[in-house]
Structure 1
Amino acid sequence: MNKHGGYIGEEKDEVLDFSVNINPLGPSEKVVNNLKESLNDIHRYPEIDGAKSIKHIADQLKITENSIILGNGAIQLIYLFARAMNFKKILIIQPTFNEYERAFKLAGGDVEYHILYPKSNFIIDINKLKDKMYSTNPDCVVLCNPNNPTGVYFDKDFIEDLLKISKEMNSFLLLDESFVDFLEKKSAIDLIDEYDLFILRSLTKFYSIPGIRVGFGLGSEKVIKRLSKYQEPWSLNTLALKAIPDIINDHSFNKKTLEWLYEERQFMLYELKKIRYIKVFQTYTNFILCRLRKSSSYKLQDLLLKEKIYIRTCEDFNGLDNKYFRIAIKNREDNIKLLNALQTLDIN
């Protein structure tokens, strides 16, 4: 099993967990109250395919219902996509979420990497990527956007350029937009019918409901039909399905979250850059990748845990080593506790 964030120690309730990238403002009160009411329906089977919830998403995104598939979190859809499409050669743009590799390998695929480096701030050089694609001839390219753990965002024009290259080579693009709700940027949704493209979206991170597990995928009707043939029935339970309409229609929660994040992200980036032993990478989402100049992230993790603070070390991401760590952006009070701890540690 691959490594992920989330503190699981005995003092779980006492530790500030900066290792998980979940919205600290949520879940919204409306969602919580309606989930409580939904408990009255747990003696009934949920919709087998979640058709009503799919309609709510389609109406919100202004796309056809045949272009949407629901999943038990975006991660289930990663494994479903790998299994259903059965690609033989996959190129993953690294460093990134490590479940892509595991999913494709379990499905029998051969995985190769296009690794990005800190000297370029993990930005893709489209010409170098094109050369890599021509040398490896992948059936599918995988890109997380904005990317976990680097926080880099590639705009829609870049995505369309990549899709044009993929089309020339008869390659598919798996585009994970699980964190796209945390920025006011354009999604690539309107490209799903023009190109071989499958987009992953998560509702658990932005809306702070990881315990429920809700995600959805977007693609052409042909792609969605193929995935549906391989998907298990009742992939989402009653609580998850009931939550979807409240989640996607809560525009005030969206606005509040984006206002919080813009202010808090600027604050954290500014303050972290003052700490001499840390290099901070620019981010467009709700987490920040950092690199220690001398020491290891394991040592930092141990020292912070003594202060009841937990961070995510990043040595398991391809292209990163044991000097890298990732922190989530939390509320101001918690962020100040982390900053104070970092400023007082003797880490060299």
Structure 2
Amino acid sequence: MTLNQPPRHQHGGNLSQLRQRSGTDTLVDFSANLNPLGPPEWLRPLISAHISDLVHYPDPHCSALTQTVAEHFTTTPDQVLIGNGASELLHLLIRGLAKTRLVVPVPSYADYDEVARLHGMNVESIALTESNGFALELETLETCLDEGRAADTLVILGQPNNPTGSQLAEEELRGLVRRHPHTTFLIDESFLDLSDAPASLGHERPDNAIVLQSLTKTYAIAGLRLGIALGNAELMARCRRLQPLWSVNTLAQEVGQAALADDDYRQRSRAFVREQRQALAEMLAQLPGVSVFPGNANFLLCRLDHPRFTAGHLTEQALQQGIALRACDNFAGLDTRYFRVAVRPAAEQQRLEQVLTGLLAPRRATPQRRKTPAIMFQGTGSNAGKSVLTAALCRILYQDGFDVAPFKAQNMSLNSFVTRDGGEMGRAQVMQAQACRLDPDVRMNPVLLKPNSDTGSQIIVLGKAVGSLHFRAYAEQKRDIFEQVKRSYDSLAAEHQVMVLEGAGSPAEINLKSGDIVNMNMARYADAPVLLVGDIDRGGVFASFVGTMELLNEAERHQVAGFVINRFRGDVTLLGSALDATLRHSGKPVLGVVPYLDRLGLPEEDSVSFKQGTLHTAADAITEDGLDIAIIDLPHISNFTDIDALTIEPDVRVRVVRHADQLGRPDAVILPGSKNVAADLIHLRHSGLANRLLQLADDERCEIVGICGGFQMLGTTLRDPHAIEGSKEPLAGLGLLPLDTCLEPDKTTLQTRCQHLPSGHELVGYEIHHGHTTADGLQPLAYNAAGELIGGAMRDGRVWGTYLHGLFDADPFRRWFIDRLRQRRGWPCDGRIRACYDLEPAFDRLADTVRDALDMDALYRRIGL
């Protein structure tokens, strides 16, 4: 059944109708004149906090909001009327005034005329002329305001006017109203707060003036509706009697009070509108046949003189390409040549330019390079599995024939890697690059933070250490750093077909959002839809999804494409009602349920799993011929991925040791890298682990291995003359190797290929360390290409160390190391390689599992592939 309705003046912003006509859900709406910044960030939490109040009727008198408005305009509550949008108030005021004559400049808001005629008024129009930019000429208006009809006359003026954007100076307007004290003036200030001259007549309002304001437009709450009228007490009382009870709902009343208190939002909105309006005007003026009229609001009126297009044709053609414009032929005084364009954010205005140029000047149109298609994984918290899922999607896209690259703007991790050109970057992005079969590139992780204390980190930008900063000092430099991040992204994205981005932590960390460069701000810059990942194995995943969405602002919520449940154990069909509930609460679908993937065989992103003691090894328990290798968990442990290859060996169990009484009598102890060697050396002593290591050094069965920082700790002296790690006082090492280490500001970062002298095997890895180590009487193990000693041993090779990260990745050397431990136990060994540390099969297994778990068709549509 079709519902027949009488024809009404058309307005912009009818999204359901526009989407139906355009055939797309991704419409960019330039037809509605709302604040382009979108609603303030406090809107959603404020509404959520008052949802429980909806069980009660709203205050029919809007008492609290009325008082707030009165205080805002320094007037009395009886001169304030609150309405369900400015449109309702317009009806009430015209009916309450009961005037017989309306004088209105045209073109102007069409409802002025319609509402007046609906209530039996005679309408006299004053034509605004194009020759002076549709500005109102006061002399012309005042000739219509003879005192004989003043008592029955209402003048309505838009301030600024819709659709022309013209505006009178406040002094001119006040002078006009005062010169005609017996004429009633209704000043529509619906767009005033978004104009360059926001001085309201509501402050020190003349007695014969009524002021109308639309919070709907100023605060982008068109679906909530809220308007304010200021007038004499008798008129306001009469209008209240005409107004239906409970016209303004509870939520709108609460929003109104908060809105009037938010002066900062209004100031930011005006500045944003001013900047974007200028850019929009300059762009439109370059189009053939388009004339742009000067305006002072958040929209511009244009005239189209084109041999093939009327404005109506143009709006229809643009609509088919996802752009909604407002044809203005239903405004009195305008014909089929005129259209109106709302001010929108820069990215949307660039899209408008592309569409209009293609329609109006196809020969002149130069194809604009669109942003490289992208998608981003963010999490409800740390260790939700973002890095692994990013790697999985990278490999899936690679398998499907795309040239894909990973990107993480900022990584905080003590696990790092050195690229071919000596740049340092996070291991997670190295792993993701491998999934894409690309060489690691520091542009994939332009900012790496390596914590060296509870409150500070070493800052690495584009592979190079730039110093250490307290977190607060780093936050103050975020704006400049983000510019470098964006340049890195643009450069990398220009070389690839698809980008897969990873966020950090959670986008809902409200104490960090203002300086965000890695989550939603990065997603918006890359135009990347966001998949929000939650770890169901931890519990509370649905609350995390809904709670995260509640803490995002509207632009951020729009960026979210859906959710991914990670690490699920069980029957997916049992989640049905929970998935439906998540969609109802958030408006976003669950786009995949990824099963719990044990023993991926891929490097961990950070130390979260390691610190939780969740190392997975091929040998779950010590068997009769199984080796026991202990790795010391240091407070500032770094590059613990050096042991990853050992965990795949079937005759080895790797375990994490934190306390001296946990050490026991292992076959080998590995002292790993550290970001603060001095502090971790002190920790070894205070915890009793240092004494146990010295005892094990005398055990003929045990081998002690130090890697990088661990290598330095095994020495006799650690000197820090530049206080890189804190104190300048020399510190005694464990004394197990004759080494003297001096930390220097310059950092060694290089890839190294060398020969392990005792075994003859080739090693490939990388060095990341401060300072230099000298040795006296040390059995050399390896030299780098510069001839520098990067490893040495004592006690028949049972105590040894090296600066080379990744040495256990080499299968022949790793088996040689394991067999030497077996020989000490008197166990048989044949030199046969039992495990191959090859990530390729792991990537393919991961990709196959994740492909089956995700709605790949939906993801490809969102990416635009």
TM-score range, shorter chain: over 0.9
- Corresponding position of 1:225: 237
User: Larger deviation: 201-210 or 229-238?
Assistant: 229-238
In structure 2, what is the equivalent of residue 281 of structure 1? 293
Distance 1:220 1:12, change over 3 A: farther
Counterpart selection for 1:303 from 317, 327, 332: 317
Indicate which of 165, 170, 189 corresponds to 2:202: 189
SS of equivalent to 1:239? helix
CA distance in 1, matches of 2:79, 2:119: 24
Shift of 1:36: 1.6
Query: CA distance change for structure 1 residues 229 and 290 in 2, over 3 Å: closer, same or farther?
Result: same
C-alpha displacement at 1:104, in angstroms?
A: 1.4
Residues 87-131 of structure 1: CA deviation (Å, up to 9, x unaligned): 111111111111111211121111111110111211122111112
Deviates more, 1:220-229 or 1:277-286: 220-229
Alignment of 1:26-105 (within 5 A): 26-105=38-117
Structure 1 residue 212 displacement after superposition? 0.5
* Equivalent position to 2:248, from 236, 239, 257: 236
Structure 2: which amino acid aligns with 1:123? Answer: A
Secondary structure of residue in 2 paired with 1:34? helix
| 1:269 Cα deviation from its structure 2 partner | 1.3
1:5 corresponds to which letter in structure 2?
G
1:229-268 deviation per Cα after TM superposition (whole angstroms, max 9, x unaligned): 3222211011111111221112232222122112111111
- CA distance in 2: counterparts of 1:32 and 1:158, whole angstroms: 39
**1:126 and 2:138 matched:** yes
- Please say if residues 287 and 361 of structure 2, whose CA atoms lie closer than 8 Å, have aligned partners that are also in contact: no
Larger strand proportion, structure 1 or 2?
Answer: 2
- The answer as to whether partners of 1:130 and 1:165 remain within 8 angstroms in 2 is no
CA–CA distance in 2 between the matches of 1:306 and 1:272? 19
> What pairs up with 1:140-289 in 2 under 5 angstroms?
140-167=154-181, 170-185=182-197, 186-192=199-205, 194-289=206-301
1:127-184, CA deviations, whole angstroms, 9 ceiling, x for partnerless residues?
11112333994611111110010000111122123213432xx221111000000124
Contact 1:314 1:321 in 2 (8 A): yes
Distance 2:82 2:103 in 1: 25
Change (3 A) 1:282 1:136: farther
Give, in angstroms, the shift of residue 327 of structure 1: 0.7
* Structure 1 residue aligned with 2:455: none
Could you tell me whether the CA contact under 8 Å between 2:283 and 2:353 is conserved in 1? Answer: yes
Is residue 315 from structure 1 mapped to residue 322 from structure 2 by the alignment?
A: no
Bigger radius of gyration? 2
Higher RCO (CA-CA < 8 Å; seq separation 6+): 1
Residues 55-82 of structure 1, C-alpha deviation per residue, up to 9 Å, x if partnerless?
A: 1122222222222110000000100011
Identity of aligned residues (%): 29
Are the structure 2 counterparts of residues 51 and 160 from structure 1 closer, same or farther at C-alpha, using a change threshold of 3 Å? same
Structure 1 residues 82 and 158: alpha-carbon distance in aligned structure 2, compared to 1, 3 A threshold = same
Spell out, residue by residue over 1:272-323, the C-alpha distance to the aligned partner (whole angstroms, 9 max, x if none).
2112210001111100100001331111112212221110000000000010
Task: Tell me which amino acid in the other structure corresponds to 1:3.
Answer: Q
CA distance in 2, matches of 1:284, 1:180: 9
Distance 1:313 1:213 in 2: 24
- In the other structure, the counterpart of 1:335 is 349
Work out the CA distance in 2 between the residues paired with 1:324 and 1:302: 14
CA contact 2:36–2:273 (8 Å) conserved in 1: no
Instruction: State the one-letter code of the partner of 2:285.
Output: K
Q: Is the 8 A contact 2:86 2:213 kept in 1?
A: yes
8 A contact 2:299–2:342 mirrored in 1: yes
User: Could you tell me how far apart the structure 2 residues matched to 1:75 and 1:318 are?
Assistant: 19
1:2 to partner: Cα distance? 1.6
Mapped contact 2:101–2:154 kept (Cα < 8 A)? yes
Q: Secondary structure at the match of 1:245?
A: helix
Distance in 1 (CA, whole Å) between partners of 2:129 and 2:24 is 34
TM-score w.r.t. the length of structure 1 is: 0.94
Letter in 2 for 1:56: T
Please report how far the alpha carbon of residue 191 of structure 1 lies from its aligned counterpart in structure 2 after TM superposition. 4.5
Is the Cα contact below 8 Å between 1:5 and 1:20 reproduced in 2?
Answer: yes
> Does the CA contact (< 8 Å) of 1:204 and 1:210 recur in 2?
yes
Please state how far the C-alpha of 1:340 moved relative to its aligned partner. 1.7
Which shows bigger deviation, 5-14 or 78-87? Answer: 5-14
Aligned-partner residue type, residue 12 of structure 2:
G
**Distance (Å, rounded) in 2 between the aligned partners of 1:242 and 1:261:** 26
Distance 1:342 1:135 in 2: 49
Deviations 1:5-36 (A, max 9, x none): 12423246311111001112221121111112
Alignment partners' CA distance in 2, 1:247 and 1:34: 11
Distance 1:59 1:133 in 2: 33
For the residue of structure 2 that corresponds to 1:112, the secondary structure is strand
Task: Identify the residue that residue 10 of structure 2 maps to in structure 1.
Answer: 3
**Range moving further from structure 2, 124-133 or 173-182:** 124-133
Change (3 A) 1:214 1:316: same
2:217 is paired with a residue of what secondary structure?
A: coil
Give the 3 Å change call, closer, same or farther, for CA 252–130 of structure 1 in structure 2: closer
Q: What amino acid does structure 2 have at the position aligned with 1:89?
A: R
Q: When the two structures are superposed, what TM-score results if normalisation uses the length of structure 2?
A: 0.39
User: 5+ residue gaps in structure 2?
Assistant: 1-7, 363-865
Return the alpha-carbon distance in structure 1 between the equivalents of residues 278 and 141 of structure 2: 31
- Aligned letter for 1:178? S
- How far is 1:85 from its partner? 1.1
Residue 347 of structure 1 and its aligned partner are, at CA, apart by: 6.8
* Comparing 257-266 and 75-84, the one that deviates more: 257-266
Which amino acid is 1:189 matched to?
G
Secondary structure in 1 aligned to 2:302?
A: strand
Contact kept in structure 1, 2:287 and 2:360, CA below 8 Å: no
Q: CA deviation at 1:54?
A: 0.9
Distance in structure 2 (CA, Å) of the matches to 1:191 and 1:61: 8
Distance 2:208 2:325 in 1: 37
Aligned to 1:22, which of 34, 40, 43? 34
